[in-house]
């Protein structure tokens, strides 16, 4: 029977460290600030924002919501981002995606200052993730996966890692982050020919496909570490991951639940990035 990996425990431990860091910054008169930009009112975005605001307030980060109407033009959006880039009380900017069709992500993603780009929207930061260069911001979700592995002392060097999903928000950056840590990484996707053959070889299996309970017991090797990034709702409206948790936990070595796994760590990683952005600004100004 697998050990259940608690994302909440990881998040709490990280939170404590961040609270101490913010206390130190505040004693020097600095309050880290995050601006979350939301165009429209998508319920999933609002729910994520609520969680992030709660987390930031617990840690002592000033988190403000910049909510723009759904019909905001690309020009207006860019002008708002430029204002936030200039705003000295804002250290991190998070743009909620997807943006409405009237705003081209491909055009506006270059506008956000890379120094404030705490969730890796700007390709400058993505390039750093891909090349393994230090000093940028990786996306919060793959960073949360790394936090979990590190907290539980799960070594990556030489390990066979299989990631199901190749999106730019999860699978692809995560594969590069793990490669940097010397794992042997296989990325699977919808055109992978024999998915079960690939996944069952994994010592560390990451599911990030967005398909409810698609990873079945016969697709997982005995003793594998199984990290479930998926957030789905089953036919009864119950939240579940990409992994068939009840069955897979019988043979995995470690497994993250949904909810209570990766998702619980993401907003704390966001806070961590805001604090780092704040420190980077202080260092830059000397
Ligand atoms: P996406 O739809 O952009 O990408 C899914 C990827 O999975 C694609 O590359 C696709 O090729 C692959 N895929 C889909 N079905 C597959 C199948 N049957 N076999 C093999 N590969 C398959 O999704 P995303 O934005 O990367 O998100 C993935 C999941 O992670 C979603 O459930 C999402 O809700 C969740 N998510 C969680 C967090 C968090 O904080 N925990 C954050 C972001 C996304």
Please check whether residues 258 and 172 belong to one and the same domain: yes
Please check whether residues 166 and 82 belong to one and the same domain: no
For position 234, which CATH number holds? 3.40.50.720
Question: How does pLDDT run across 82-134, given as a tens digit for each residue?
Answer: 999 999 999 999 999 999 999 999 999 999 999 999 999 999 999 999 999 99
Residue 243 counted as domain residue: yes
In this prediction, what percent of the chain has a pLDDT beyond 70?
Answer: 100
Residue 133 counted as domain residue: no
Q: Is 195 in the pocket of ligand 1 (CB under 6 A)?
A: yes
Checking if the pLDDT of 163 tops 80, the result is yes
Residue to probe by mutation, ligand 1, list 170, 202, 244, 264, most atoms within 8 Å of CB: 170
Cβ-based neighbours of 241, under 8 Å, separated by 6 or more? 207, 212, 213, 228, 229, 230, 231, 232, 256, 257, 258, 261
Please check whether residues 99 and 175 belong to one and the same domain: no
Distance 167 CA to ligand 1 centre (A): 7
Domain hosting residue 212, numbered range: 140-263
Please check whether residues 86 and 178 belong to one and the same domain: no
Does this complex have an ipTM over 0.85? Answer: yes
For position 37, which CATH number holds? 3.40.50.10860
Torsion angles phi and psi, residue 264, rounded to 5: -75, -20
Please check whether residues 184 and 148 belong to one and the same domain: yes
Please check whether residues 82 and 188 belong to one and the same domain: no
Q: Any binding-site annotation on 231?
A: yes
Please check whether residues 181 and 257 belong to one and the same domain: yes
Q: What is the mean pLDDT of the chain?
A: 97
**What per-residue confidence (pLDDT) applies to 2?**
95
Question: How does pLDDT run across 132-147, given as a tens digit for each residue?
Answer: 999 999 999 999 999 9
Atom of ligand 1 nearest to the CA of 140: 40
228 phi-psi bin (left φ>0, alpha ψ -120 to 50, beta other): beta
Question: How does pLDDT run across 249-278, given as a tens digit for each residue?
Answer: 999 999 999 999 999 999 999 999 999 999
Residue 99 counted as domain residue: yes
């Amino acid at each position: 029977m697998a050990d259940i990996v608690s994302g909440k425990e990881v998040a709490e431990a990280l939170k404590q460290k961040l609270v101490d860091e913010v206390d130190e910054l505040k004693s020097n008169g600095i309050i880290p600030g995050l601006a979350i930009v939301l165009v429209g009112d998508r319920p999933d975005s609002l729910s994520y924002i609520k969680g992030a605001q709660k987390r930031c307030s617990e840690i002592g980060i000033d988190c403000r919501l910049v909510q723009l109407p759904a019909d905001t033009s690309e020009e207006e959006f860019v002008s708002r981002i430029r204002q936030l880039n200039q705003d000295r009380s804002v250290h991190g900017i998070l743009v909620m995606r997807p943006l409405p069709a009237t705003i081209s992500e491909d055009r506006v993603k270059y506008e956000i200052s890379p120094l404030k780009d705490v969730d890796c929207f700007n390709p400058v930061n993505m390039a750093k993730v891909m090349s393994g260069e230090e000093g940028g911001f990786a996306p919060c979700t793959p960073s949360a996966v790394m936090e979990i592995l590190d907290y539980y002392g799960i070594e990556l060097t030489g390990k066979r890692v299989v990631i199901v999903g190749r999106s730019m928000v999860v699978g692809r950056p995560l594969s590069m982050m793990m490669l940097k840590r010397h794992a042997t990484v296989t990325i699977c996707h919808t055109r992978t020919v024999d998915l079960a053959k690939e996944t069952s070889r994994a010592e560390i299996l990451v599911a990030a496909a967005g398909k409810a309970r698609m990873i079945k017991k016969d697709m997982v090797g005995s003793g594998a570490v199984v990290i479930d990034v998926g957030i789905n709702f089953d036919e009864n409206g119950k939240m579940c991951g990409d992994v068939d948790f009840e069955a897979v936990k019988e043979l995995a070595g470690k497994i993250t639940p949904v909810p209570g796994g990766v998702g619980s760590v993401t907003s704390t990683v966001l806070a961590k990035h805001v604090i780092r952005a704040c420190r980077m600004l202080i260092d830059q100004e000397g």
